Each structure stands twice: as structure tokens, then as C-alpha cells.
Amino acid sequence: MPKITGYKTNDVRFPTSLTGDGTDAMNTECDYSSAYVTLQTDTDLSGYGMTFTIGRGNDIVCAAIHQVADRLVGKDTEELFHDMGKTWDFMMADPQLRWIGPEKGVIHIASGAVNNALWDMYARSRKKPLWKLVADFTPEEIVRSAAFRYISDAITKEEALELLKSKEAGKKEREAKVRELGYPAYVTSAGWLGYTDEKVAHLTKEALQSGFNHFKMKVGASLSNDLRRGTLIRSIIDDPQFQPANLPPRDPNGEDLKGKNAGKTGCVLMIDANQVWDVNQAIEYVKGLESIRPWFIEEPTAPDDILGHASVRRALKPHGIGVATGEHAHNRMVFKQLLQAEAIDVVQIDSCRLAGVSEVLSVLLMAAKFGVPVCPHAGGVGLCEYVIHLSLIDYIAISGTMERNVLEYVDHLHEHFKTPCTINSRGRYNVPNGADEGYSIEMYQSSIDEYEWPNGSYWVGRRQQEEAEKKGLGLRGH
């Protein structure tokens, strides 16, 4: 049986700040970056994982990944796979690393990269994509794979088992349905804060023709600018002339769109502030955007402020605007409290801010018990590749529904992955199907060689170009 013999990390950074991709009111300079880890064994079996930063954070995260991954060296893979919940507990139990969390911050997201790599290895060893590996588990195996410490007051293992057993009967039919239709997606790429109105309009029309009917834009820097941009997007997505001719019309009052403030063409607008406001600021600002009829405001305030989110939700409910959060919710306990406090209308898990698949399963189970839809965050390199697996697990095995769910799609950097996610003509994710793709996160070595910091060929070339430009300016100054 394979044993884990070692690991390596790569600090891979893409220069997305040059084009404004990823820009929002809080994060104005984003170089989408992957703190990437490969778990190695004494056979040809490997596991690939990563966590996401927007640049220099990779320095710290890669150092933390070394500390976390070292705990797995020498372990028998089959023993680890046999009880992934127990394995997760073991990974999180180094007392000296736990002290600088516990279960949050850099150590936690580094643990996410390593746990994801281990799940990737597990799926590859069984010749299944990750979603299929977990969807084929028995209810008992799913419960055994999840992290339950500190959440038993919200959901017990027994309740989780009962919930999963209640969904067993329709799993095959749901799998067949999603393979045929794809998983619903929404587009963020049209609404980055750094884009011109012309670019926003062009990308919105392009997304409509690609089959999307849910659109998200960034807000929070200027109310007047946000109103202008939101009105622009609304004027396009609500206009029948821009709707794709190859798709049937959508019913804005249908079950999948009810309560989402859909326009007459069945299109939905969401807004995202990336934590820029205090609670009262958030309430007043979003009231000022009521005319563009957003379904929800995402991250209206600090991600740890559970009661603040509850206040925002209560205040905006009369205005028909919901609240979503989760991409910076750093563990299952934050989600537990958000759900218990009735603070959110949409759960937005992040595939690598939570500490890997085992903790994600816990949040999916809690959300299903509380009846709140899960629409994962996927803005960033590799996250779209990850999260389609998580949404498929949720739909097929846990919540049993995808009718109101939408999974974020950002059209950046997929070409660097060996098994990139794809979107069909209905604006839906296709189901990953490769026997050897695991968690779909293996990166091309050529991409690592080009964009690894600081000595990848792109970064070396850029420094040389900047030096040449400096010398040229110096010469012209004489």
C-alpha cells in the first residue's frame, strides 16, 4: 500500500492586477495566486491541492503548508482514506500549530490545501473524480468523512445520517439529471470594479449569449457609480433583445427565481461589497441601491460579525434584499452561528478557506438541515475547478436540490489546469468526468515554470523589462 513520502510546494502568481480582474472596493490590486502543494508517495500516486491568495500572502501560506504537510509523511494512504474525518482531526491536532489558530488564519487555509490534496489523492486512487467518489459513499461513509467537533449543537452525527438516508433514493436520478443539464452558474467576470462601463456592457451581453441569467457586480466605492453600473447591467439583462435565441424564455415567477428580484426576462442581479462597510453603513448604502433590485448583498460587513450580518438581514428584508456571505468565513463554527442566528439567505463556502473537503461536508450538512442554499465562492485561480465538485456532492447526496442554487463562474486562468472546468450553452457547469482528474486541480508544469514566484520565466522577464525601462528613462534624462 502506498505511503506518503514527502511533499513540495509552489508559489504561483498570475499578474491579474494588470487587467483589473478581481478588483473590488476592498481589494484594488489582485494578483490571483496559488499556494500549491503536491503530496508524494512511494508509488506513482500523487495528490494535488492549493489554496488561494491575491499575491504576497503566498510567502506565508507556503511556509505553513510545509508545517502541516509534514504531519502526513510516513502515513499509510489507505489508513488515512479509511476514515477521512479521523484523518482531518489528526491533521488539525498539532498543538503548536493549533495554538496560532485555532482553526483559522494562515494555518487553517494551509490545512485546506493539504486536506484537498489528500482528497485528490483518494479520488485518483479510486479512478473517480472527487464528486463521484463522495456521491457514491454510503451515508455512514459521508458522516465518517466530515468534521463534527464543535458543531453538534447545530447538527449531530445521527441527524446528519438521517438527512443523508432521506436523500439516498433519488441519487441516481439526480446524477443523471445534472449530467444532462449541467449545474447552474452565475457570472462575476462582467462586474469587476476596475472595468470601464464599455467593458461591463460588452461582457454582460457576451455572458447573456453564453446562457447565463445570474450576474454579480462589485459595489462599495461610490454609490453614484454603483447605481450607474447597476442600472447599465439591468438595462441589458432585462432587455429581451439581448436574450439568446437558442434558449427558451425564463419565467421570473418560477420556483427557481421566486424571491430573487428577477426582471421580466428572468435575469437576476447580485451585488458584492467585500466587507467594506460597518453594519449601519451597509444598511443605508444598500437601501440606496434598491432601484437596481439585487437578489442579495454579499459580504456587507466584517466576515466574523455574525450578529452584524443578522442586523443587516433584518433591516434589508422589508426592501426585498437578502444577505449572503462565506468566502471569508474561516471555519464551520462561523457558518454554524450564521445559520443559528438566521443571519444569511445564502451560504457561500470557499473551497480552500475552509480546511478542505472534510470541513466543507460539515457546512453542507448544516446548510441542508437549516434549509439554506449553498452557492460557493469561486472568484480566483483554481476555485471554479474545485467548487463544481462540492456543488455536485451537495446536490446528489446532501441537499437534493439545485433549482435555486447558482455556482460562481469566473472566466480566468482555467488554461493552466490539466482538467479545467467548462460551461455549456445553457450557462451551466459541465460535470467533470475524468477517471484520473481527482479534484481537478493539477496544474501544468509549464504554467508553474512560467509563473512561479520569483524565478518563473514571466516574473524574470518582467523584472528585466522594468530594469530596461528605468535605464531608458535615465538616459533620456541626460
Residues belonging to the active site: 218, 377
User: How far apart, in whole angstroms, are the C-alpha atoms of residue 398 and residue 161?
Assistant: 10
CA 303 to chain centre: 15
* Sequence-ordered list of residues with C-beta below 8 angstroms from that of 409, at least 6 positions apart, any chain: 185, 186, 187, 188, 189, 212, 378, 384, 421, 423, 429
Q: What is the CA radius of gyration of the chain?
A: 22
Beta bridge partners of 52: 34
From the number of C-beta atoms within 10 Å of its C-beta (0-12, 13-18, 19+), residue 87 rates as buried
Cell, residue 431:
460535470
CA 292 to chain centre: 25
Determine contact, residues 183/395, Cβ cutoff 8 Å: yes
From the number of C-beta atoms within 10 Å of its C-beta (0-12, 13-18, 19+), residue 90 rates as middle
The residue written with cell numbers 428572468 in the block is 266
Identity (one letter) of the amino acid at 334? V
User: How far apart, in whole angstroms, are the C-alpha atoms of residue 72 and residue 426?
Assistant: 42
User: How far apart, in whole angstroms, are the C-alpha atoms of residue 345 and residue 279?
Assistant: 17
CA-nearest of 60, 62, 63, 71 to 95 is: 71
Determine contact, residues 367/393, Cβ cutoff 8 Å: no
